[in-house]
Structure 1
Amino acid sequence: MNITFFIKEFHLRHPVIKEIKSALIKRGVNLDFVVLKETILDLQSLGHLKFASNSDLVVFKTTKYFAEHLAILMEDEGLRVINGSKSIRLNRDKILNNITLRKSGIKTPKTITFHSSEIKKISQKMFPMVIKPVVGGRARDVKLVSNKSELEKNEKNDDIVIGQKYIENDGLDRKLYVVDDKVFGIFKPSVLTPSDNSNAFKEFKVEEDLKEIALKCGEITNSKIYGVDVVLGEDGPYVIETNDFPGFRGIKNAGKIIADFLYFKKNEKR
């Protein structure tokens, strides 16, 4: 039995990936790791597709480069793919992510997109506002701005960016990690309003309302191994975004849990 992982090189050193690898090998699974480290894809030979053609399961631990295109090709060939092309697309593009979640009834902060040349047109009611890139991750380039003047100082490039109305909260993000129907929670200190909260990086029991939200997000984005970023406002939880196959930092035995899911998933009937 064979499982092929498409992965970025630095993820190979991640403790959770090492734990997944060890657990699957103990179960007798043959593993192949294909490192995606460039944007070159030979559209005639499609060597990546041939490499995975004998796999019982293909796993993508990246949304970068041409991962979505490869996932589409493999799905068209009848291969079982986790997370699939829809998940990769909706979790990578944060505009699509927000539109799709809101359209399906998930409560998110008021969200806009804009170019730096259009800042004067933004309503003052959007402030304070969180700005972030359309394609990003790990909180890179995420900033909190209080007004238009501050925004103009921070946003001077030619890219379209996302702005979300800041939700007043307790300074802790609720990071929900999901493997199929299992939901785990970690308190994470906000990158926007750093604090010394003693609960930071502690695992917490996920209440039924948050579990329901997390699982619904997975259904909407067609994700099986994913994360949901949540903040608690005065009127309840808001989903900031979802992300594809996160790091599961702080979740005990996360690698074994994921490995068990992948092992039994590959044995399911199509």
Structure 2
Amino acid sequence: MHNLKIAVIGNPGSWSTEVLADALEKKTGYKCVVEMSQVTMDFDSRSLFQGEVDLASLDALVIKKIGPVYSPDMFNRLEILRFFCKIGIPVYSRPERIMAAINRLSCTVTLQKGDIPMPPTVITENINQAVKAVKKFGKAVFKPLYSSKARGMLVVEDHDNCRSEIENFQASGNTTMYIQKMIDIPGKDLGVAFLGGKYLGTYARRQGESWNTCTSSGGKYEPYEPSQEIIELAQKAQSLFDLDFTCVDVVETDQGPMVFEVSAFGGFRGLINACSIDAAALYSEYVINDLSS
């Protein structure tokens, strides 16, 4: 398969982008990382270029990241790729499937329509209703619609000053407020990974000193053997999006396992560090085998 030219759309220099590009290069002899902010689409000529690289001349694109930060700009970039698919070049995962997961509200709506158990959640632009939700929950996590690794999230408790905290959160760019009840977790949550819709493995994120389990906040990856119930729940959740590679964030609660979200891109590091699963190599094999079928 050394004649295949497969580019990775991602963030040049970032670990997950480069490890996937390296894995593809190892199997094909070709390496190309595409940064979407440097891409130009010409609708008349049906061309998509990064510098001198004509992406329409490649055999496939694999989307690992769509930008260094989560923002509405991601939708613009994915729309370009959605049109690019008309040219007939395979894209993994399909842009429209990523679009359903990349926005926290869109992801939640899809999960709710699929009857996936989640922590109680309220969506509102109204400050009074947001205060009411905090009083109802006792303690709530306010989550930006575009964020990862708990960036920009705010924990708000029911107290006299909670209104001002909520007003500040909304004023900082969160017109639509995503408010989720803060639930007790058993010191960890889980990343349940799937490749081509098939279960790949599970890692735990052990909580550090922070309220969240993110490794950027002191959390640690650990191996974990989930119950069949957890695997089946995560399988059902990811099937609603049909992504080529993804991780489902699951938490065990007194009411049973619940899903926080389905990742638009999925993570490699937890799988390699906790489970010794080289997801980048497996993903590259999956893409090459699919192109060969």
TM > 0.5: yes
Matched, 1:113 2:123: yes
Q: Which amino acid aligns with 1:8?
A: N
Query: Which residue number corresponds to residue 114 of structure 2?
Result: 104
Paired with 2:286 and 2:132, the residues of 1 have a C-alpha distance of 48
What do you get for the CA RMSD once the two structures are aligned? 2.7
Pairing partner for 1:125 from 111, 122, 136: 136
AA partner of residue 8 (structure 2) = F
Is 1:162 matched with 2:172? no
Structure 1 position 146 matched with structure 2 position 157: yes
Task: Report how far residue 189 of structure 1 moved.
Answer: 3.2
Is 1:228 aligned with 2:231?
Answer: no
Larger deviation: 224-233 or 43-52? 43-52
Amino acid aligned to 2:24: L
Distance 1:213 1:185 in 2: 13
By how many angstroms is 1:261 displaced? 1.6
Q: 2:86 aligns with which of 76, 86, 104?
A: 76
* Cα displacement string for residues 86-124 of structure 1 (whole angstroms, at most 9, x for unaligned residues): 222122111111011111121111211123633344362
- The residue aligned with 1:192 is 211
Tell me the amino acid that sits aligned with residue 113 of structure 1.
Answer: I
Distance in 2, matches of 1:32 and 1:217, equals 32
Question: For residues 167 and 223 of structure 1, what CA distance do their matches in structure 2 show?
Answer: 28
Task: Please state how far the C-alpha of 1:38 moved relative to its aligned partner.
Answer: 5.9
Indicate if the aligned counterparts of 1:173 and 1:230 stay in contact, CA closer than 8 A.
yes
Q: What is the number of residues matched between the two proteins?
A: 262
Alpha carbons of structure 1 residues 45 and 210: separation in structure 2 relative to 1, 3 Å: same
Give the Cα–Cα distance (whole angstroms) in 2 for the partners of residues 194 and 149 of structure 1: 28
> Corresponding residue for 2:239?
219
Misfit runs of 4+, over 6 Å: none
Deviation at 1:241, TM superposition (A): 0.9
1:60 aligns with 2:80: no
Mind listing any 5+ residue stretches in structure 2 that lack a counterpart? 68-73
SS of match in other structure, 1:154:
helix
TM-score when normalising by structure 1: 0.84
SS at match of 1:201: strand
Q: CA deviation at 1:188?
A: 1.0
Q: Structure 2 vs 1, CA of residues 43 and 147 (structure 1 numbering), >3 Å: closer, same or farther?
A: farther
Mapped partners of 1:209, 1:51: distance in 2: 46
Offset, 1:154: 2.8
Note the C-alpha offset of 1:60.
Answer: 1.3
- Note the C-alpha offset of 1:208: 2.2
Give the fraction of aligned pairs with identical amino acids, expressed as a percent: 19
- Give the Cα separation in 2 of the matches to 1:32 and 1:182: 28
Q: Is the 8 A contact 1:7 1:33 kept in 2?
A: yes
Specify whether residues 219 and 194 from structure 1 end up closer, same or farther in structure 2 by C-alpha distance, changes over 3 A only: closer
Task: Check conservation: 2:97, 2:242, Cα contact below 8 A.
Answer: yes
Partner of 2:20: 20
1:71 is displaced (CA, Å) by 2.5
Change (3 A) 1:38 1:74: closer
Compute the TM-score of the two structures, normalised by the length of structure 2: 0.78
Report what 2:288 is aligned to.
263
Could you tell me how far 1:239 is from its partner in structure 2?
Answer: 0.3
Unaligned residue ranges in structure 1 (runs of 5+): none
